[in-house]
Structures are given as structure tokens and as C-alpha cells.
Amino acid sequence: MNGSNVMEIGDMTWGEVVESSKKPVIIMFYSPTCPYCKAMEPYFMNYANEFKSSAVFARMNIETNPWTVERFGVQGTPTFKFFCHGRPVWEQVGQVYPSILKTAVEDMINSGEECIRKSTPIGQDITGYA
């Protein structure tokens, strides 16, 4: 995204970016018309710059990526989901105090391998699409 440390991902790049990452991954699920997303985005970008060596930061448009949105039960925007070894380990929905989000990022980075023990496998077959 315009020289930032936040990449835009989609259903087709999810596995490559999130599930194959050796680093923790923080995703901001958003919609282009969401005012809360626009309010949180500068903080998300700042954290991406600050923690770029320790974590991967990405955004996903919920309007154009229905498979992943359904798979992970995203129902509101913004939704911040943290993944460790491709597994979801923490989530925060809505506009939050930026310090809460930053603390969560720091905690995830500092927990290292412990985050995998806190995670739950997600099956590939979780979808309503036949």
C-alpha cells in the first residue's frame, strides 16, 4: 500500500501470506465505506512501520473476499485478527483505543512460540459454499 508496511491481501493470497508466514500476522478486515476503519487505519499503519521486523501486517477488504471473511467469522469492521502459524490467536472488533491494539501487537510478538499453543486449528472445509 503506497510504500507502507501493510500489504493488501485477498482470498487467493491468504495461504501464501498468512498460513505460510514464519512471523505473527496481524490482519485488519475492513470495508471501504467504514468510518471506523478509516479512523483506525493510521494507527495500524504506524504499528506496521514500528513492528515490521517482528510481524506481518495486512489488510483485507471484506466486500471482495467473502470466502476468507466467512471462514473466520468476520461480522463487523474493522476486525483485527492475529494469526500465529496460520492459526487465529486474538481478535478485536470495532474501533478501539489505539493503545489496546498496540499492546496486543507487543504481547503477540513477545509471546513467540507460545502463541502456537494458544491457537486453534481452522479446517479448510469451513464454508457455506458448495
Ordered by where they begin, the domains of the chain are 6-118 (3.40.30.10)
Question: At residue 129, does pLDDT exceed 90?
Answer: no
Question: What is the spatial distance between Cα 23 and Cα 25, in angstroms, rounded to a whole number?
Answer: 6
**Residue 6 in this model has a pLDDT that exceeds 70:** yes
* pLDDT tops 70 at residue 124: no
Query: Can you tell me whether residue 88 is helix, strand or coil?
Result: strand
Give pLDDT tens digits for 55-93.
Answer: 999 999 999 999 999 999 999 999 999 998 888 888 999
Contact in structure between 69 and 29 (CB atoms under 8 Å): yes
pLDDT in tens, 10-53: 999 999 999 989 899 999 999 999 999 999 999 999 999 999 99
What pLDDT, on the 0 to 100 scale, is given for residue 126? 46
Q: At 68, which amino acid appears?
A: T
25, 29, 46, 55, 101 from 98: Cα distances, Å: 18, 16, 10, 17, 5
Please report the pLDDT score of residue 35 as a whole number.
96
- Is the bond preceding residue 98 a cis peptide, omega within 30 degrees? no
Q: What's residue 113's pLDDT?
A: 59
Please check the confidence at residue 127 and state whether its pLDDT lies above 50: no
